């Protein structure tokens, strides 16, 4: 069992996101039974609950990295900080281009994307700030940090491909996001392989998330 335990870490994000969905549905059902109906105002707070799965992923990655033996990818170093920032910004633009291109392709194919019309101003502000930065840090620490360290003995191409697939399945609740999250996972995996540090991927991921949030605010998606 121990031999195969590390492969379960690839599936854990999928289990968390599906479990979180069931937890929210169950919580709403219990509230409805207790109160004899759902208060429409309750739905205002639901988008903010999206911070919980990344927070859990962050906690898991942080704790496991502290316990596991072996080399760990550094966040950055003083000598390479400027280059890490440049690489992060360039990769962030590439990730944003993938996001835009993927959703445009799906639109041409008639595949519907997520419905953002019900989101209010407070939700857009959240998804363009904390809701963009927290996942960037948490997901990079888990996927390109902890998972990459766990699978360090695999060939780079296989390791990056597996982690990117796990990263895409983490977004399974938005099926139209599966394509671009997989491709973005490849970009971020190659970035970490090239730089040997996590900060460039965190910057790229955060920039892409924030820019995507702003595009949604402007009515692009």
What is the tally of structural domains in the chain? Answer: 1
Nearest to 125 by CA among 217, 61, 28, 208: 217
Residue found by looking up tokens 């700030």 in the block: 129
Whole-number Å distance between alpha carbons of 52 and 24: 11
Q: pTM of this prediction?
A: 0.92
pLDDT (0 to 100) of residue 119: 85
pLDDT (0 to 100) of residue 129: 93
Q: How does pLDDT run across 152-174, given as a tens digit for each residue? A: 999 999 999 999 999 999 999 88
Q: How does pLDDT run across 62-72, given as a tens digit for each residue? A: 999 888 877 88
Q: CB–CB of 10/147 below 8 Å?
A: yes
Q: CB–CB of 170/181 below 8 Å?
A: yes
Contacts of 60 (CB under 8 A, 6+ apart): 12, 142, 146
Whole-number Å distance between alpha carbons of 149 and 163: 11
**Which residue range(s) make up the domain with 106?**
2-217
Ranges of residues in the chain whose predicted pLDDT is under 50? 1
pLDDT (0 to 100) of residue 210: 95
Q: How does pLDDT run across 108-130, given as a tens digit for each residue? A: 988 877 777 788 889 989 999 99
With both helix axes pointing from N to C terminus, report the angle between 199-217 and 121-128 in degrees, rounded to the nearest 10: 160
């Amino acid at each position: 069992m121990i031999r195969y335990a590390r492969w379960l870490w690839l599936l854990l994000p999928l289990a968390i996101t599906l479990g979180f969905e069931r937890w929210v549905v169950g919580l709403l059902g219990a509230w409805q039974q207790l109160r004899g109906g759902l208060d429409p105002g309750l739905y205002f707070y639901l988008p903010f609950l999206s911070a919980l799965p990344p927070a859990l992923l962050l906690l898991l990655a942080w704790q496991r990295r502290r316990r596991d033996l072996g080399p760990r990818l550094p966040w950055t170093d003083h000598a390479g900080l400027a280059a890490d920032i440049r690489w992060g910004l360039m990769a962030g633009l590439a990730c944003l281009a993938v996001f835009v291109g993927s959703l445009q392709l799906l639109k041409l194919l008639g595949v519907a994307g997520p419905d953002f019309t019900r989101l209010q101003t407070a939700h857009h502000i959240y998804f363009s700030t904390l809701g963009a930065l927290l996942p960037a840090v948490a997901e990079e620490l888990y996927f390109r940090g902890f998972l990459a360290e766990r699978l360090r003995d695999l060939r780079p191409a296989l390791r990056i491909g597996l982690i990117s697939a796990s990263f895409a399945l983490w977004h399974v609740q938005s099926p139209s996001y599966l394509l671009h999250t997989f491709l973005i996972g490849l970009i971020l995996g190659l970035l970490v392989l090239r730089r040997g540090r996590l900060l460039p991927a965190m910057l790229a991921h955060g920039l892409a998330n924030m820019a995507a949030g702003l595009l949604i605010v402007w009515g692009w998606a």
